[in-house]
A = this chain, B = another copy of it.
Amino acid sequence: MNVAIIGVGLIGGSLAITLREQKIATRILGVDKDENNLKKAVQLGLIQEGVALEKAVKESDIVFLTVPVDAILHLLPPLLDRVSNQVIVDMGSTKKTILHAVSDHPKRGRLVAAHPMAGTEHSGPEAAIPNLFKGKMMVYVDAMNSDEDAFEAVDAIIEQLEMHTTFMSANEHDLHTAYVSHISHVTSFALALTVLEKEKSQGRIFELAGSGFESTVRLAKSSPDMWTPIFRQNRDNVLEVLQEHIRQLQQIYDVLDREDYDLFYKLIKKSNKIRRILR
A86 at interface by CB-CB < 8 Å: no
A187 at interface by CB-CB < 8 Å: yes
Query: In whole angstroms, how far apart are the Cα atoms of A235 and B261 in the complex?
Result: 11
Name the B residues within 8 Å of A136 (CB-CB). Answer: 210
Query: In whole angstroms, how far apart are the Cα atoms of A246 and B250 in the complex?
Result: 7
Stretch of A19-27, A51-59, A170-178 at the chain-chain interface: A170-178
**Number of residues from A at the complex interface, CB < 8 A:** 92
Name the B residues within 8 Å of A212 (CB-CB). Answer: 119, 121, 181, 184-185, 219
Query: In whole angstroms, how far apart are the Cα atoms of A224 and B197 in the complex?
Result: 29
- List A residues 179-220 near B (Cβ within 8 Å): 179-181, 183-198, 202, 204-220
- List A residues 121-176 near B (Cβ within 8 Å): 121, 136-137, 139, 166, 168, 172, 175-176
A236 to chain B, nearest CB (A): 10
A215 to chain B, nearest CB (A): 4
A64 at interface by CB-CB < 8 Å: no
Across the two chains, which residue of chain B brings its CB closest to A235? B256
